[in-house]
Amino acid sequence: MGAVYRRAMRKDANRLYDIRRRSIIELALPTMTAAEAQAWAAKLTRAGMEQKLRELDVWVAELDGRAAGWGAFRGEWLEGLYTDPDFACRGVGAGLLGVCERLMCERGIRAVRAEASSNAMAFYLRRGYLANGPQSPNGAWPIAKQLL
């Protein structure tokens, strides 16, 4: 059965925090070291996740009734995309990206912008994104995709 997409709720905070943390630690390797992945994962606290749920559009993909990943955006910025490693490579990330892009498009946003981590760069390039600047000191790549 395909994924079901729904808006995230406040009560999802702990599960979405855990998905982000595990996705970074388990999926971001080997394009970064374990220490770099740990440092990236530690940038968000549980309180920070609750804040994201208040301030961003956050969407959850459910597979078999379980939250399998989430994507978030604010205005033209894609602010996060994470898949539970247990559900990796089953289309969850691509599906969430499509949901976020469609919602942005409906709101008249002409181009999506994001900061891609090096491990996810190929994933975005295969989905129509282009690099639009040099790699930042923290290793992220500015990318963009025209929607309209």
Ligand X SMILES: CC(C)(COP(=O)(O)OP(=O)(O)OC[C@H]1O[C@@H](n2cnc3c(N)ncnc32)[C@H](O)[C@@H]1OP(=O)(O)O)[C@@H](O)C(=O)NCCC(=O)NCCS
Positions that interact with ligand X (CB under 6 A): 23-24, 27-28, 69, 81-83, 88-94, 116-117, 119-120, 123, 126
- In angstroms, the CA 96 to CA 10 distance is 19
In three-state secondary structure terms, 77 is strand
Report, in Å, the least distance between residue 137 CB and ligand X.
16
Considering the complex, state which of residue 24 and residue 104 has its C-beta at the smaller distance from ligand X.
24
Residue 3's closest CA among 99, 127, 79, 81? 99
Considering the complex, state which of residue 88 and residue 109 has its C-beta at the smaller distance from ligand X.
88
Report, in Å, the least distance between residue 54 CB and ligand X.
21
Q: 52, 80 in Cβ contact below 8 A?
A: yes
Report, in Å, the least distance between residue 57 CB and ligand X.
16
Considering the complex, state which of residue 108 and residue 134 has its C-beta at the smaller distance from ligand X.
134
DSSP codes, 98-135: HHHHHHHHHTT--EEEEEE-GGGHHHHHTTT-EE-SPP
Report, in Å, the least distance between residue 102 CB and ligand X.
15
